[in-house]
Amino acid sequence: METMIHSRIGFDRLQALKQRLEKRETCTFMEYAAWIGRSSIIGSMMEGGINPCLRGSLRGNTATNGACNKELLDIGTEALKKFLLAVPLSLSTHVVQRVVDMRVLEPVQRSVCAICDKESSPDDLLCYGTPCFHLFCETCFWKDLLARIFLPSTTKVVICPVCSIQESPSCSMTRSDPQTCCKESLDLYLSLPSGSKDIQTAKKGKGKIRDDTYASESWSIAVAPSLGYTQAVRRDKFFTHVERGSFHFVKGCIDRGIDLNLRNEYGQTALFISAWYGYLEIVQLLLQSGADPSVACNAGITPWQVAKRCNHQQIRDLLAECSCGSFTFHEEVFPKPLSFELLTLIDTTVDHPGAGSFFIDRAIDNTVADKLVELWQMLPVVESLTKKAMGKPCSVRSYFCDSLGWISNLLADALNQTLEDKEICVFPHMRYLCYRDKGICLARHVDLNRQHPCQNIRSTHSFLLYLFDCDEGGETTLLQDLSRDEIALTSVKPRKSRLLCFPHACPHKGEETVDLPKLLIRGEVSIV
């Protein structure tokens, strides 16, 4: 047995394992995996929900009998949640491995934590090791680590919480001239595979991760494998991490190659999204790395405008020299409708997923509808040549994000005045759908809900805001179910300034177009 273990983990690790087992009364499986250097097993155990603060007991120390205090276990639960949600597995694995290595192996004369200055059991103590050899309780260590692990200044994650010994930050392209950094990052990004043959070659080059490289001690190393090895994946990962405010992942993309001025379907750059969401550290990082603050979204809104609208004063000051952009509709004063006409389509008492569906006539003034048409004419068109519905081409789409709250506030006002005792939140991401040809229809389906980009709210209803009248064809039909029978409950004709709302789960379809064009805005709203 010893020969087999020797062949697997090596002589030095085998001798260290013997010493640890001699001094331990009990040990956990996670501790044993750390002692034999099986980082992949540690990661798998954390993914399985094992608390990283569980620990064995020292031989001869029967006071605690290996039981962890409740506070430490609660901290371990919190750490596990954060690790699984926002920390690369290789980094969290390294943290656990270092904690296990720091656990003292024998009783000490004065077991006092150097941080909280409280007497601690040897089973609760950690020793940082060289060069300071400070003693501190495991509870204080985890509190310190969780307080700073996501800070932009954090490079090496496991440091001594007493003297804060940390390696100096490694040289990074974000420290060079912004224009140089931007060009270097772009060159690295363009060198990534983009064609199908290049992607297949990149996949073949990826081998199995060995245990000795499974754990990473710093953010810069840990994030690298999760950033993608092709241009398309890197682009998607970049925007995802920007939207989540994951500083170290965004920095990893910049260091390993990205086009800093890439735009999503709404024409928003990473700098725009960060300014909108209020991520000051990421805005600073992007500007230092050469991101262009003058790039506006599809509607002509600049990062400075959205930072001003959202009262992000520090970000606004950083972008002070940026132009205001061409979007000015939100500054105009429009007349409000004199009255709203609400019609319930499916009664709220009916046992149907579309219960409570309704439409509001004159939800906005016709001058606002005309301005929305004017805005649509400014937006780039996204035509899908491959997407078909029942063998016929679909609508032509244009994407508009109401980050300044112009149309969202107008629609919310109409909904608040017609729906009693309801909390309304109109989501900013909207799509223009234009039907330019006769005979276009939309097959039966249900919609999915969405997460609000700036609030912890999920949408409940879809809305359609019609911008033109269609006397014949183009109706939106609410169905009994998604069966082939397509039993219609009601149909709604497109009427200028009409707002149709129905629950996401309501089956519906679009009838064939006859009168043209059929133009509407599609979006989501929360009505609770």
Return d(Cα 496, Cα 505) in angstroms, integer: 25
Q: At which of 301, 327, 353 does a domain end?
A: 327
Task: Give the pLDDT confidence score for residue 7 in this predicted structure.
Answer: 53
Return d(Cα 162, Cα 266) in angstroms, integer: 47
Q: Tell me: the pLDDT tens digits for 330-364? A: 777 788 887 899 999 999 999 999 999 999 999 99
Task: Give the pLDDT confidence score for residue 211 in this predicted structure.
Answer: 55
Q: Tell me: the pLDDT tens digits for 286-308? A: 999 999 999 999 999 999 999 99
Asked if residue 427 is part of any domain, the answer here is yes
Tallying the residues shown for the chain, one arrives at 528
Return d(Cα 136, Cα 91) in angstroms, integer: 22
0.85 exceeded by pTM: yes
Please answer whether residues 55 and 31 qualify as being in contact, where contact means their C-beta atoms are separated by less than 8 angstroms.
yes
Q: Are 350 and 287 within one domain?
A: no
Asked if residue 333 is part of any domain, the answer here is no
Asked if residue 405 is part of any domain, the answer here is yes
Question: Residue 268 maps to which CATH number?
Answer: 1.25.40.20
Please answer whether residues 271 and 302 qualify as being in contact, where contact means their C-beta atoms are separated by less than 8 angstroms.
no
Q: Are 321 and 350 within one domain?
A: no
Residue 466 has pLDDT above 90, yes or no: yes
Beta-strand ranges (E) seen in 474-517 are 476-479, 488-492, 499-503, 508-510
Beta-strand ranges (E) seen in 394-510 are 396-401, 424-426, 429-435, 442-445, 461-466, 476-479, 488-492, 499-503, 508-510
Structural domain of 191: 173-202+214-327
Dmax (CA) of the chain: 90
Q: Are 281 and 423 within one domain?
A: no
Asked if residue 162 is part of any domain, the answer here is no
Overall domain count for the chain: 3
* CA-to-CA dists, residue 417 to 162, 413, 424, 460, angstroms: 59, 6, 11, 19
Q: Tell me: the pLDDT tens digits for 144-202? A: 999 999 999 888 899 999 987 544 444 344 456 899 999 999 999 999 998 665 656 55
Return d(Cα 140, Cα 145) in angstroms, integer: 9
Burial degree of 117 (CB within 10 A; 0-12, 13-18, 19+): exposed
Question: Stretch 232-259: mean pLDDT, rounded?
Answer: 96
Q: Are 321 and 179 within one domain?
A: yes
Return d(Cα 185, Cα 386) in angstroms, integer: 33
> Left, alpha or beta for 169 (phi > 0: left; psi -120 to 50: alpha)?
beta
Residue 37 has pLDDT above 90, yes or no: no
Q: Tell me: the pLDDT tens digits for 364-416? A: 999 999 999 999 999 999 865 445 544 556 789 999 999 999 999 999 999 99
Q: Tell me: the pLDDT tens digits for 468-497? A: 999 999 999 999 999 999 999 999 999 999
Average pLDDT, whole number, for the chain?
87
Nearest to residue 398, comparing CAs of 371, 378, 422? Answer: 378
Task: Give the pLDDT confidence score for residue 166 in this predicted structure.
Answer: 46
Q: Are 237 and 367 within one domain?
A: no
Whether the ω angle into residue 337 lies within 30 degrees of 0, i.e. cis, is: no
Q: At which of 109, 131, 148 does a domain end?
A: 148
Q: Are 188 and 320 within one domain?
A: yes
**Local confidence band at 119 (pLDDT 50, 70, 90 cut-offs):** confident
Question: Stretch 439-445: mean pLDDT, rounded?
Answer: 93
Please answer whether residues 494 and 469 qualify as being in contact, where contact means their C-beta atoms are separated by less than 8 angstroms.
yes
Q: Which residues contact 305 (CB under 8 A, 6 or more apart)?
A: 324, 325, 327, 404
The answer to which of 78-82, 210-214, 391-395, 431-435 has the lowest mean pLDDT is 210-214
The answer to which of 16-30, 95-109, 134-148 has the lowest mean pLDDT is 16-30
Q: Are 143 and 191 within one domain?
A: no
Asked if residue 209 is part of any domain, the answer here is no
Task: Give the pLDDT confidence score for residue 403 in this predicted structure.
Answer: 96
Asked if residue 163 is part of any domain, the answer here is no
Return d(Cα 142, Cα 400) in angstroms, integer: 44
Q: Are 309 and 345 within one domain?
A: no
Q: Tell me: the pLDDT tens digits for 254-288? A: 999 999 999 999 999 999 999 999 999 999 999 99
Task: Give the pLDDT confidence score for residue 194 in this predicted structure.
Answer: 87
Task: Give the pLDDT confidence score for residue 489 in this predicted structure.
Answer: 96
% of the chain residues with pLDDT over 90:
67
Return d(Cα 111, Cα 117) in angstroms, integer: 10
Helix, strand, or coil (residue 221):
helix
| Residue 151: φ, ψ to 5° | -65, 140
Q: Are 347 and 322 within one domain?
A: no
Q: Tell me: the pLDDT tens digits for 202-234? A: 555 555 555 556 788 899 999 999 999 999 999
